[in-house]
Homo-oligomer: A and B are copies of this chain.
């Protein structure tokens, strides 16, 4: 199978995925933004979130900053941000901030090292819990504890959960295709 087709097929196989901008900063305060679509819920109490990184590519600034600062942010995308968010996947040199390169605006919260993204309807802060090697192919699962959540009013419903459609939160696949969501069903807890 041709390499590009193989990669495209493999990265679409799981189906629709989340897409978040990961915000980090180096010890010197140099900011980095990178799109990740491997963000997964690992637990609710404590709230743990995992994401997968390949050590050898554009993610490496993100990984280095997370190891050094033990902190990062996850920021949902809305349709208006897609082009700028996508551009954050380009391989910028070390000294270029994706905020400056793409025109996205950083947002800081008192006492937290990593930058959030202005205009993101759902954004949260994570503290490094663990980095787990995946020996099969040298990727790593980065595990973080959610320490702070900021949600636009319209994005939270009365059950205490996110309303992704109202938030305008975008899904993705293959790191090149972006989807809007329409609710098909919300179903009650299933009983045997």
Interface residues, chain A, with chain B CB atoms under 8 Å away: 1-20, 38-50, 52, 74, 76, 79, 82-83, 86-93, 96, 101, 122, 124, 129-130, 132, 134-137, 139, 141, 143, 145-146, 149, 159-162, 164-165, 169-171, 173-174, 176-192
Contacts and interface: CB of A to CB of B under 8 A. Distances in A.
B52 A92 contact: no
Given A5-B159, A134-B143, 15 more contacts: A8-B160, A9-B162, A13-B49, A13-B162, A43-B136, A82-B187, A90-B190, A90-B192, A129-B136, A130-B135, A134-B141, A176-B187, A177-B187, A178-B183, A179-B181
Nearest to A172: B16
Contact of A12 (B88, B139, B164): B164
A93 B135 contact: no
B86 A190 contact: yes
A147 to B, nearest CB: 12
User: DSSP majority for the A interface?
Assistant: mixed
B182 A186 contact: no
A32 to B, nearest CB: 13
Nearest 5 pairs between A and B by C-beta? A5-B160, A8-B161, A15-B18, A16-B171, A12-B162
A41 to B, nearest CB: 5
B184 A181 contact: no
A159 B14 contact: no
B44 A6 contact: yes
A53 B4 CA distance: 31
B173 A49 contact: no
A88 to B, nearest CB: 8
Given A44-B10, A182-B182, A16 B130 contact: no
Contacts of A19: 15
A184 to B, nearest CB: 5
21 contacts: A5-B159, A7-B45, A10-B41, A10-B43, A10-B45, A10-B47, A13-B49, A13-B149, A14-B20, A14-B74, A16-B16, A16-B164, A42-B52, A43-B139, A79-B184, A82-B187, A96-B192, A132-B141, A134-B141, A171-B179, A179-B181
